Structure 1
């Protein structure tokens, strides 16, 4: 039918061709490249002392989950093995609605608007202008920056969450997901070699493990501080850029997360998944910091842009036991609230909003200082990195990125390295001088003395 005929004579060809150009949705601005799986969470310890959340209220209770892993700064076509922050977002399908935990949060600069290239000078200009951000950057440049697959990494949601129990008492926690597979990381050389032959190494590793019924698992624990502990802390426990100090909190085991099912269609389940830190449940009123408050707004906006205003009706995002008053508009619509009233309050069976009468009205006031606190950076360098070999590998990863940084910014970088620790500053300076000599580049920075 195609010879001496127009395109409309072959409707199948026309339909396929027109559909082809609509088969993509906007990719995520950050954490675009990723993978994921389905599974369940089981409560293993009684934590009713800290929260009345139904999700955690009974030892042995299981809750379905959806987990997405991702790369912080990689586009959909990027490499799993790029050095940087890795994300692990968990959606709990609870009887009280969806509860989303997102780990971590990071958005460091876009490409240079003129060259459309990654700009190392801009990166270090930001890091040294906002020196608290240097702490997270050191983690990414150390061995932790390239784990040996998603199954072999821990995950740390960065916010401090407020919890409340049946009596209205408040506690403040940081959730930690600890891998049961054992921590394992790759060197830069190993990552480069694997990336050259399999840039989807992490996704393949996770998929194959689940397909072979070697189900990956993580223990969920909480670092807990009481309201009295929070008030007495000599640091800001709500600061996203730092770890809590040892001795100021207790660690409580909560449960076990297991990934047991690969999605039958990646696009339907993972690419259309939408995680929102504003998805909270009774007993977990959530973080109180301003970064979290901002995220509640712009995550919703991003998901509306990427998936449409009814993104919560997509199967992967839809609460399994809770109804809302959102209806109509662009598909998907689900049951579109059937014949429930479209107003509230009403005299029928429409959904009821949750009001926590037990939550106290007292608010915390946190006073901030403009001084650059480099204690977390120094602690990471001297205590989290336990050997000289680990410290030197981190320096070896940092030095090449400094070669093309312009002198004023480069000087600030070196100064901050010495301020964090004189040994770190010395190692970076020596490494940079050696790297410049190797490529015959005239030094553009004055070494800072160790004292």
Structure 2
């Protein structure tokens, strides 16, 4: 903040009309009622009622900053995207980091995945990458996304988040094991947004001038180094500063300590996707680096804090469907679902014309036949043609020049499950667990136990059975940690350690207390 100074700016209403008083309402006499004709008061009240847009259903609490994306390796052999034709090419960008399950009031340091969303304002249009700080996700079919999120939100009767709902869903969908092991490991609570890696997570694609397609995984590695918090440290910080990540990112940029990330890709030729032993479009799986090593292609630096949080971060709209020429999607089922759902969420949350907001507006020219709608932010193309084709110089499609190569598809339409050869839920989580150092494995036992131990016994038994298959050492370690916590618990509070939920007639879920004894 600067030193105080006298204002020389006249206050107006939203239409630019001068305001006579911002201290007193217009009334009928000193003690009389307020007059309806006090349009300044009415405008302020109406604006106040609408100044909060609905928060995001997921990723509600997030902070972000602007910066610069720079290409360190040109890859014209992989893509025709202008951004990657020449080494050293730069563009302005925006990054938004977030928690996932909690609302905007949640503490930053809760155990949760972290959103990692990037928007590059390229000369060909906006390129968005919507990912997380983990290379995998909980589910691999978009039809289960809503159920997963509901299980992480608040219980309909108690209004609280429910460990029972979480582990009931996870235990009934063992494909979630890979992601939950990340979450209950050290990376479940980063030290701050500057100290975590990011991943596109999905399988995307690139295509070159010869019409060749390559499937890619995007990786963003923190040049500050990956650093994490223990659950005890995170709990202490949450009590002192629930906006700890916000402050850390903002203050680092203000000090000139601009955080940087190295950008790399894994590349799989299109033909290899048909025969690779791991399903290449399964969001719960990673591609082993031994088969598809990382190729560094760029870096980005965050060097500019937002001038206004609401305008530039809360109204920022990221969507994986923002793919300029040279970038493409893949048959990844979850990605296919998100191509539609993200843009649709923005239309609901911030209006059909959200792409015209300054933070979302492309750096390249925009010429569409989209017209009208609430809160149109520009001249609505004035008298330009509103239909196509037309005889009056309206924009026309670019045709083959920007057309993505055809995607070969085979088979009959149906609701297919995953191939039997890909139903191994336990191999990759087991490999991840065995990569952890012994000290982290010990923390994993406790992290799981604090949450799983608050669920009914049948849910514990089911989930511990899955952990046994991931690695017997993991299952036994969590089992021992749960028993130790129960044995050490104060008898006065044992009844609140575990929650159970039963369904009444009609399917209503009702919470019931369950005492926890040391002999469970």
Q: TM-score, normalised by structure 2?
A: 0.81
1:444 Cα offset (Å): 7.7
Q: Residues 219-256 of structure 1, C-alpha deviation per residue, up to 9 Å, x if partnerless? A: 11101111243233211111111211232213211111
Alignment of 1:204-215 (within 5 A): 204-215=247-258
- The yes-or-no answer on 1:345 pairing with 2:389 is yes
Query: CA contact under 8 A between 1:327 and 1:333: conserved in structure 2?
Result: no
Q: Residues 163-194 of structure 1, C-alpha deviation per residue, up to 9 Å, x if partnerless? A: 11111111111001111111111111111111
Which residue number corresponds to residue 312 of structure 2? 269
Match of 2:429, SS state, is helix
Q: Distance in 2 between matches of 1:420 and 1:320?
A: 48
Match of 1:127, SS state, is helix
Which residue number corresponds to residue 328 of structure 1? 372
Alignment of 1:41-440 (within 5 A): 41-104=69-132, 108=149, 109=151, 110-321=153-364, 322-355=366-399, 356-357=402-403, 359-363=405-409, 368-369=418-419, 371-383=423-435, 385=436, 387-439=437-489
Query: CA contact under 8 A between 2:91 and 2:120: conserved in structure 1?
Result: yes
Query: CA contact under 8 A between 1:167 and 1:358: conserved in structure 2?
Result: no
| 436-445 vs 73-82, which moves further | 436-445
Are residues 367 and 166 of structure 1, via their aligned partners in 2, closer, same or farther at CA, if it must alter by over 3 Å? farther
Q: Distance in 1 between matches of 2:58 and 2:483?
A: 34
Match of 1:287, SS state, is coil
Match of 1:70, SS state, is strand
Are residues 364 and 79 of structure 1, via their aligned partners in 2, closer, same or farther at CA, if it must alter by over 3 Å? farther
Q: Which has the greater radius of gyration?
A: 2
Unaligned runs of 5+ in 1: 446-451
Match of 1:132, SS state, is helix
Q: Distance in 1 between matches of 2:419 and 2:78?
A: 30
Match of 1:27, SS state, is coil
Q: 1:18 aligns with which of 32, 39, 46?
A: 46
Are residues 361 and 277 of structure 1, via their aligned partners in 2, closer, same or farther at CA, if it must alter by over 3 Å? closer
Q: Residues 264-316 of structure 1, C-alpha deviation per residue, up to 9 Å, x if partnerless? A: 11101110111111111111121321211111222122111101111111111
| 219-228 vs 201-210, which moves further | 219-228
Which residue number corresponds to residue 449 of structure 1? none
1:443 Cα offset (Å): 5.8
Q: Residues 130-165 of structure 1, C-alpha deviation per residue, up to 9 Å, x if partnerless? A: 111121111111110111110111001111111111
Match of 1:250, SS state, is coil
Q: Distance in 2 between matches of 1:74 and 1:234?
A: 36
Q: Distance in 1 between matches of 2:173 and 2:386?
A: 47
Query: CA contact under 8 A between 1:314 and 1:332: conserved in structure 2?
Result: no
Q: How many residues align?
A: 443
Are residues 378 and 317 of structure 1, via their aligned partners in 2, closer, same or farther at CA, if it must alter by over 3 Å? same
Q: Distance in 2 between matches of 1:335 and 1:62?
A: 30
1:345 Cα offset (Å): 2.4
Query: CA contact under 8 A between 1:166 and 1:358: conserved in structure 2?
Result: no
Q: Distance in 2 between matches of 1:155 and 1:168?
A: 29
1:361 Cα offset (Å): 4.2
Q: Residues 370-394 of structure 1, C-alpha deviation per residue, up to 9 Å, x if partnerless? A: 53421111011012x1x11011111
- The yes-or-no answer on 1:38 pairing with 2:66 is yes
Unaligned runs of 5+ in 2: 1-25, 139-147, 492-515
Question: How big is the alpha-carbon RMSD for the aligned residues of Structure 1 and Structure 2?
Answer: 2.0
Q: Distance in 2 between matches of 1:332 and 1:267?
A: 18
Q: Residues 16-50 of structure 1, C-alpha deviation per residue, up to 9 Å, x if partnerless? A: 33322221110001110011111121111011111
Which residue number corresponds to residue 517 of structure 2? 442
Which residue number corresponds to residue 6 of structure 1? 33
Q: Distance in 2 between matches of 1:306 and 1:292?
A: 21
